[in-house]
Amino acid sequence: MLKCTPHIIEYTKIRYSIREKDKMSFGTIESFSTQQNLELRSWYWYDWANQAFALTVSTILAPALISRYFDLATGGGSNVGGIVITGDSFYALVLGFSMMFVAITSPILGAIADRVPIKKKIIWVYTIIGVIFTAFMGLAPHFGEDSSFKYLAFFFVMGQIGFSGANTIYYAFMPYLADKEKMDHVSSWGYAYGFIGGSLILILHLLVLSFAENSNWALSFVFVSTALWWLIFALPFFKNTPEPEIHNKVEYESIIDAVKNGFLEVKNSFKEIKKYKQLVIFLVAYLLFYDGINTIGGLAAAFAESVLRLSQQMNFVLILLVNVIAIPMSIVGGKLAMKFGTKRVLGWALGVYLFTAIVAIGFAPLELNDDYERYDFQYQYNEESGQYELDTLYDRGIKGWVSKSGEGDEKFRDAFMIFMIEGKIEGIRWQDSDIERNIISVDEGRMLVIAMENNTDHRFSFYFMGGKLNSEKSVGDNHPTIIEGGVLDFWPNFLRDNVWSPLNFGVNLQWILLGTMVGMVMGTAGAQARSLFSMLVPKTKTAEFFGFFGFMGKAAAVFGPFIYALTASSMDSRVGLMSILLVIVLGWILFPFINIEEGIKVAKQVDDGTYMSEDN
């Protein structure tokens, strides 16, 4: 429990008095002039704009599609040096490399931008890069099976660099838009605007993908419309939000001099920040828990695709649910922070994240049994023709599930492609075409059933409905419903046997549960982390340290994906998720050691010029 010393009492009075004096209305502060509120709202609009990329592309489509295309090209995974890289772990590597570039370059550009009035120019360049390559991602579904994941991964890395690089500099505008005491309001409403904008275009994309006849062209529309949304709604920021004032301008003779000075500024920031003990503890905690939160959010769709075999639409439903819930909860979180304290509310939010991650490790598809529509390949008897007609899970078609040349599906192709693809036998190998066989005779069905009984070393499932072969079924040993051999498999099996199955709670409902829990705390965790940071930073050094804070956020986004990729590839995806949970726990453990009272006291002494470091 915090002690109410004069410093904390004074700070609390200031915040409450400002809340009483400055009535808030839809993200603006009435005590501001009309021009100031225009500048603030225009800053919010950039959040509205770029969340189209953050939600539709970065959180849903890129993880799921890169993971799916990789699995499709490799047959479920690729063995590299004894380590099996699956779709979700490959995506984790892609995400990690993109964030590494941003983490390395952003501090340098940020330091230069603190000396030269080019913050908006830097954001503009990053935005254009992000917009162009987001639109290019619309081309990826039209490349061949073996190439789609490569092009999509490259375009996504460039788009992610544009998005994350712009955000780092964009955050540095916040201290110039309102006083420090109003950061709770500005931070929370910025998140709310982003959730609203991202959710609106998410609904459009969900409708398009649900009703479009051609899924590849629908995906192209989604990527291109995301790029246009980002560009159009970003324009108010570039038009109305002014370039922050530079107090110590520097004119560089060349780009090399600017970069050298940028490195020097970053070095000085590291030296400077070490003087503030409470701020350092918070930053270490932030590096850990924000890393975990970002990684779970970024890899959720890939985990759903590779481990749970969920549909693309369910990922849209998840993110839409998360954001609809997060819009009001971001504002509620700000009010709770005013009542119970920012540190306490942030701690509560992280506790919910930990519980959610523990439950998510135990997510498991229910056993298939006679649930005909959940099988990958569904053969239904047609009474009129006397033949069996094939439907596939999520209407992806045979080519949408089975790799044409990937090593992982080689045994499946050898055993089953003769029944599923038009072709001929050349020598001892089956040479297929691109024509799928959606109809087979009863006799061919009998032979397929025999093949099903003799070959289970694969990742798919079959079911026959009606006719003489009614209820004949087979589930491959590597199908997502077969959970065995992993270190943590006892947990999903326990939950499936004792919770999910008795309640008939399938993976779709489990996914909705995840969205509900994450939505309750996602905005609160991000907004209150920014707010808590602002409390511990001297007002005279706000701009400098917020740039460093942005760097920490991007650095945090690097380690988690690599940790997940390593553990998921060497063990399995559930262990990968557990490794991220442990990262959040480490950050959470540091919370009791953060003395907000002492941190505010030091910040005030620095502002007053009375601070004496322990070195003096």
Tens-digit pLDDT profile for residues 286-302: 878 877 777 777 777 77
Predicted pLDDT of residue 110: 64
Token pair for residue 243?
Answer: 């370039």
Average model confidence (pLDDT) across the chain: 80
Residue 490, pLDDT above cutoff 90:
yes
CB contact at 8 A, 296 and 580? yes
E-only strand ranges, 460-604: 461-465, 473-475
Tens-digit pLDDT profile for residues 338-367: 788 888 888 888 888 889 889 999 999 999
Kindly list the strands in the beta sheet with 461-465, ordered across the sheet, starting from the edge strand earlier in the chain: 439-440, 387-392, 377-382, 461-465, 473-475
CA distances (Å), origin 33, targets 29, 187, 236, 292:
9, 19, 18, 40
Indicate the Cα dihedral angle 309, 312, 314, 315, nearest 10°. 100
Residue 13, pLDDT above cutoff 60:
no
Its pTM stands at: 0.71
User: Average of pLDDT values for 319-336?
Assistant: 79
DSSP reduced 3-state for 70 = helix
Cα–Cα distance, 410 to 12 (Å, whole number): 66
Residue 433, pLDDT above cutoff 70:
no
Residues 6+ apart with CB under 8 A from 361: 488, 491, 492, 574, 577, 578, 581
CA distances (Å), origin 306, targets 88, 274, 363, 365:
6, 42, 13, 12
Q: How far apart are the first and last CA of the chain?
A: 31
CA distances (Å), origin 613, targets 339, 534, 545, 603:
32, 20, 18, 12
Confidence of residue 80 (pLDDT cuts 50, 70, 90): low
Q: Where in the chain are the domains?
A: 36-244+252-365+507-608, 372-475
Which helix H or strand E contains 389, and what residues bound it? strand 387-392
Cα–Cα distance, 445 to 450 (Å, whole number): 9
Q: Which of 2-11, 394-403, 458-467 has the highest mean pLDDT?
A: 458-467
Which helix H or strand E contains 390, and what residues bound it? strand 387-392
- Beta-bridged to residue 391, according to DSSP, are 378
Predicted pLDDT of residue 22: 44
- Residue 408's closest CA among 464, 479, 459, 337? 459
Burial 36-70 (b: 16+ CB within 10 A, else e): ebbbbbbbbbbbbbbbbbbbbbbbbbbbbbbbbbb
Residue 107, pLDDT above cutoff 80:
no
User: Average of pLDDT values for 565-572?
Assistant: 82
- Beta-bridged to residue 473, according to DSSP, are 463
Tens-digit pLDDT profile for residues 208-226: 888 877 788 888 999 999 9
Token pair for residue 247?
Answer: 């107090």
CA distances (Å), origin 23, targets 16, 19, 102, 192:
11, 7, 38, 18
Asked if CATH classification 1.20.200.10 holds for the domain at 36-244+252-365+507-608, the reply, yes or no, is no
Residue 571, pLDDT above cutoff 50:
yes
CB contact at 8 A, 92 and 569? no
- Residue 338's closest CA among 182, 523, 192? 182
Predicted pLDDT of residue 7: 37
Report residue 79: phi and psi, to 5°.
-90, 115
Tens-digit pLDDT profile for residues 373-393: 999 999 999 999 999 999 999
DSSP reduced 3-state for 342 = helix
Q: What is the 3-state secondary structure (H, E, C) of 473-488?
A: EEECCCCCCCCCCCCC
Predicted pLDDT of residue 473: 95
Residue 67, pLDDT above cutoff 70:
yes
Predicted pLDDT of residue 327: 75
Q: Which residue has the higher pLDDT, 85 or 417?
A: 417
Q: Which residue has the higher pLDDT, 578 or 606?
A: 578
Cα–Cα distance, 579 to 176 (Å, whole number): 38
DSSP reduced 3-state for 380 = strand
CA distances (Å), origin 582, targets 280, 328, 592:
20, 29, 17
